[in-house]
Amino acid sequence: MPTSNQTRKYLSVLARHPAFLGALIGILAAFSQALLISAGGPEAYGFCVACHTRDLVNGMTNLIADTTLSLAAISKNAILPVMSVTGVLIGAYLAARVNGEHKIRRSDPKTHVIYFLCGILVLNLAMIFGGCPYRAALRTGYGDITALLFIATMAIGVVLGTLVLLKREENKEDN
Amino acid sequence: MATGILPMEIAVYAVPVVTLILGLLIGYLAQRSGYCSIGGFRDFALFRHTRLLSGYLTLILASFAGYLLFWFLVPSSMEHFFWAFTSDLFVPIPGAPAGLSPAAYLLFSAVPGFLIGLIAVLLGGCPIRLTVMASEGSLKAAWFFIGMCVGSILFAALVSGWVVALMKTLGFGA
């Protein structure tokens, strides 16, 4: 019999493995659809960083400023929009704080501007597809072929990006 | 209209609460594991590391298993499972701007997929990784998140209309 200390060690290793979180998100996304779909669609919408950010921002703007920005039916019908991104922000903050990994890291102003503009661009691209890489995975699991196409071209994009990164490193070493 | 475990009157109150709890759990574990979809493909391409990639591939398999399970348990909540068998093969699950031809949605998958992969790997992470990094105190990641918030309003107010108009001019109308 493993001692309770060993069990705890195994559990903490398991909790820190990405595959465990992947399995958890998949099952929980299906569970949340089974639980909440009466409030409205779309399907395969259990977890998505881009769409849920859109729902949160547009939903709260609609409530506060009385606008009619578009958002998913589930967030429109519910008393408040989906809050998963708020949860991710708080959960990750707590995890970083508890484990002493929270540290303010500044970059130069130019980098901040680039990241801000890329945030706008990535969100818009994700909305044109109708999801971020996570909803693409959920949609693939739900049986959507177009989402599989998204994942395939994303992999090609990433490989091309890594080539750019490698090239950049080489140039740095030459200088 | 699909019906889930909770009736509509209760579900409308449960939506923010359930998704908040889900998000807290995912955010906590994502910080501990360094979870990243883009990073998985990147680490595999660069070093043949499979740790992060296993997280993303497990997500695809687990979501299929989860949807299959709840399709058995609560069939009314999984109206169109398995999507490829219940609708036309290349029609996507709703979410993208509506009212265009199937060819348009293939473009809407292929082009944003490629560009998001390219941009995200240069930024150093997918949207969830950058959101978690913002919570860890990275200011550039925080600016990325603010950009996503601004982008939400821009897309709803302007860009979605432009994209649909452009696609219709190009002959991709439904």
DSSP secondary-structure letter at B157? Answer: I
- The angle at the Cα of B45, spanning B42 to B51, to the nearest 5 degrees, equals 65
Read off the tokens for B116. Answer: 């998001």
Helix (H, G, I), strand (E, B) or coil at B169: helix
DSSP secondary-structure letter at B50? Answer: -
N- to C-terminal Cα separation, chain B: 24
The widest CA-to-CA distance across chain A, in whole angstroms, is 61
> Which three-class secondary structure string do you get for chain A?
CCCHHHHHHHHHHHHCCHHHHHHHHHHHHHHHHHHHHHHCCCCCCCCCHHHHHHHHHHHHHHHHHCCCCCCCHHHHHCCCCCCHHHHHHHHHHHHHHHCCCCCCECCCHHHHHHHHHHHHHHHHHHHHHCCCHHHHHHHHHHCCHHHHHHHHHHHHHHHHHHHHHHHHHHHHHHC
State the alpha helices, DSSP H only, in B34-101.
Answer: 37-47, 51-73, 83-86
Which residues in chain A (8-67) have CB-CB distances under 8 A to chain B? 15-39, 41-47, 49-54, 57-58, 61
> Who among B121, B138, B151 is closest to A123 (CB)?
B151
Cα separation, B75 vs B66, whole angstroms: 12
How high is the pLDDT of residue A153?
96
How high is the pLDDT of residue B90?
80
Q: Average pLDDT, stretch A120-145?
A: 93
Torsion angles phi and psi, residue A16, rounded to 5: -95, 5
Torsion angles phi and psi, residue B137, rounded to 5: 110, 10
With CB atoms and an 8 Å threshold, state whether A20 touches B29. yes
Torsion angles phi and psi, residue A105, rounded to 5: -115, 115
> Who among B27, B89, B144 is closest to A88 (CB)?
B27
With CB atoms and an 8 Å threshold, state whether A25 touches B62. yes
| Domain-wise residue ranges, chain B | 1-86, 88-174
Cα separation, B166 vs B157, whole angstroms: 16
| Domain-wise residue ranges, chain A | 4-143, 146-175
Digit-by-digit pLDDT tens for chain B (174 residues) are 688 888 988 999 999 999 999 999 999 999 999 999 999 999 999 999 999 999 999 999 999 999 999 999 988 888 888 888 888 778 888 888 888 888 899 999 999 999 999 999 999 888 999 999 999 999 999 999 999 999 999 999 999 999 999 999 988 887
How high is the pLDDT of residue A2?
57
**Are B66 and A27 contacting, i.e. CB atoms less than 8 angstroms apart?**
yes
How high is the pLDDT of residue B64?
94
Cα separation, B174 vs B169, whole angstroms: 12
Q: Average pLDDT, stretch A45-66?
A: 93
